[in-house]
Structure 1
């Protein structure tokens, strides 16, 4: 079976690369069957494939990066937890009768250091996605996160959050249960915590659903993740009354990691392997792990007051504007 046939979630801009990789695989198979040495030709084709991969992934549009951020095979919070931590133990429930599967939380060790981990979790198939509300957390999810963050602060344990959601759950039931209040309360409390907080956008960071666990001393983004006030589809529908203009909205929103780094809204971009995270999840996890360890070492060297001042100044400087006299 050709390599292209084994990749059901192939994106349009990945097709030329996949076709070339398929040709290399076919040539290698024919050469093995006929006992012909074509190693030199294969080396040349593989070099061309690597060059094409770099060309494709270094010139992506915001819409294409959004496709990568939403890729069904992109590593999730649980994938990273399993890859980078030891002794992971998931904790459930907000102690008010709800346990939202769209937002997971628990304790683990990162490089031997105890940490509390909280993150959005999307499903791997339709059934799992429905159970996890497609990664859109309810008020109960944010209150569960708050319970774990309070626990972390009480016992002086650093907090790591992983953001990957199109937004908070937008249904009537969530509004009845106080969606806005739950997110706002989390924002206030996260500014008050003494412990180090590191948030990482690993996929799609959307609206208040992302901010509910996104107030941090350090805000990191994986290279091909996105972070915005609204999805491009919602933005296009609001501004132009036409969701088909989402490509235009994606550019206007400045939602890519490079855009946000230039605007000073994030602290660091975590480089993804060639071909993006879904093509090499283990290497991506290794890069993320080292970045988290380095940032934790820097933050733990500070006093609690220094961290809180840093956190406050970071967000205070966002959205600066100039008034021009008439």
Structure 2
């Protein structure tokens, strides 16, 4: 994994990491024993990470969710699953690289996995369209969902998108219809399904692969109908009011768990998933296996009934008059 970039609120953490690196370099060059000094700095670093990430504001969690070194779908496919075989195309127009998916094994069990994929550099972001799917991406996702249902295999989706691509071509090819169809079809699947927000969960572009039996969120991910910047631009006519918008929108995992929108918050290692991919993946895997074991015990009719009740039970209804 490449060197981790640091956000503004991580400057103190970066300073201690730099001290640790310098001390190790000095020890290597001069052959001196710095075990005691390193242990003290490591304790200081761990404390700083724990304190910093335990008290993040909503807008700071937005920064973590968008971190360029945060694990993406393909990273979790490598760390959590085995024997991944990617499937391509929607059988109508083309293959959309912003959504990847295929067969894989989770703890030895065959499952269908799909998710949005961002790029690490400009070339890859152009290929992946910055993780914003076209309608053919959602049609590919639906094809894989129905394939999983055909073979009675669980479905696992990973959500990480700013939203569906809003370009003219995408609209001409039926972006809204593709998303709406996925919502309907996911709600009626006869197989266990788990959706996890691993980074950004933006609007209908996220929801199109998130109508699952269980919806999980990594601790520092976000899930909302619009970005804080977009909300601020609409309500306050100023995108710089994004801090206020992020607070009001209740987009963090803890807020959404309290509101009953998601089912579980998966803890991230101190310092965030971008600082320790392996521990983040281990926590993610444990949650997936546990929820799948619970869902596997339910017959198809019970899955569909409880799924319907889950989504119909969200929010509050008011009748005028």
Quickly name the TM-score band, shorter chain normalised: over 0.9
Aligned to 1:63: 59
Aligned counterpart in structure 2 of residue 146 of structure 1, from 142, 148, 155? 142
For residues 1-326 of structure 1, the aligned pairs below 5 Å read 7=3, 9-321=5-317
Deviation at 1:74, TM superposition (A): 0.6
Moved more, 260-269 or 32-41: 32-41
Distance 1:277 1:191 in 2: 30
Aligned equivalents of 1:36, 1:8: Cα separation in 2: 28
- Segment of structure 1 superposing worse, 15-24 or 121-130: 15-24
Larger mean Cα displacement after TM superposition, 92-101 or 198-207? 92-101
Provide the secondary structure at the position in 2 that maps to 1:291.
helix
Between the aligned partners of 2:291 and 2:67, the Cα distance in structure 1 is 27
Task: Give the drift of 1:322.
Answer: 5.2
Structure 2 counterpart SS, 1:114: strand
**Residue segments in structure 1 that go unaligned for 5+ positions in a row:** 1-5
How far has the Cα of 1:131 moved from its partner? 1.3
Q: How many residues align?
A: 320
The Cα offsets for residues 116-175 of structure 1, whole Å up to 9 and x where unpaired, read as 111000011011101111000011000111111111111101100000000000111111
User: What is the alpha-carbon distance in structure 2 between the residues aligned to residue 118 and residue 278 of structure 1?
Assistant: 21
Q: CA RMSD in A?
A: 1.6
Report the Cα distance in structure 2 between the residues aligned to 1:175 and 1:318, rounded to whole angstroms. Answer: 29
Q: TM-score, normalised by structure 1?
A: 0.94
1:10 positional shift: 1.6
Q: CA deviation at 1:36?
A: 4.4
Unaligned runs of 5+ in 2: none
Q: Deviations over 1:196-234 (max 9, x none)?
A: 010000000000000000000000000110000101111
Question: Cα deviations across residues 181-203 of structure 1 (Å, max 9, x unaligned)?
Answer: 11001000111111001000000
Deviation at 1:53, TM superposition (A): 0.9
State the Cα distance separating 1:282 from its structure 2 match: 1.4
